[in-house]
Amino acid sequence: MQFFFYGTLLDPEVRAAVMPHIAESLELQPARLRGYRRVRARHGTYPVLVSDARSRVDGLLVSGLDARALYRMAHFEGDLYLPQQRRVRATDGAAAQAWIFMAVHPGLAAQRSWSLQRWRMQHKRRLLADTSRWMREFGVDNGQAHDMNWPFRRTIQALAADLEMPEDTLSWQEAA
């Protein structure tokens, strides 16, 4: 299973805060999503993708995620985003189907473009501090966090079922 990262998860420190157990071992490949552009969220410092046939979004095609990482990413993204499959193209030209956290409501997007470089300079430090606290919440590692509504939880659990659970995650799974 592959995901396409296009926003704050492009940053290695953010990936390490969200999924510390696996961030260093992820397989990352530059990729591009056509037919969308990246804009700033209306009420946040993170990006949202909006449809635009003439545009493209550069990002990373990510492999090597496990179920625990998926649950942690879902908690990080929140239920205003839902994973959807889209075709992306790696920079080597290979096409791939990838999951992308897409905004569930078009009203989340502002018209102002979003830049990773600008975000790093202005907002990264605060997001890292907030993420560190947020990722310690109960249920983050197994999809039982209380901020997930049931349709979002079902979608994430179905994706997680497709991933093999590593043996070292049995303890957190049994504790739930």
pLDDT in tens, 9-64: 999 999 999 999 999 999 999 999 999 999 999 888 999 999 999 999 999 999 99
Please give the structure tokens belonging to residue 29: 């490949």
Task: Give pLDDT, residue 149.
Answer: 62
* Domain ranges, ordered by start, for the chain: 3-165
**DSSP tag of 8:** G
Sequence-distant (6+) residues with CB within 8 A of 36 are: 49, 50, 51, 52, 55, 56, 57
* Chain position carrying tokens 């510390």: 20
* Domain 3-165 homologous superfamily, CATH: Gamma-glutamyl cyclotransferase-like (3.10.490.10)
The reported pTM is 0.82
Answer yes or no: is pLDDT of 81 > 50. yes
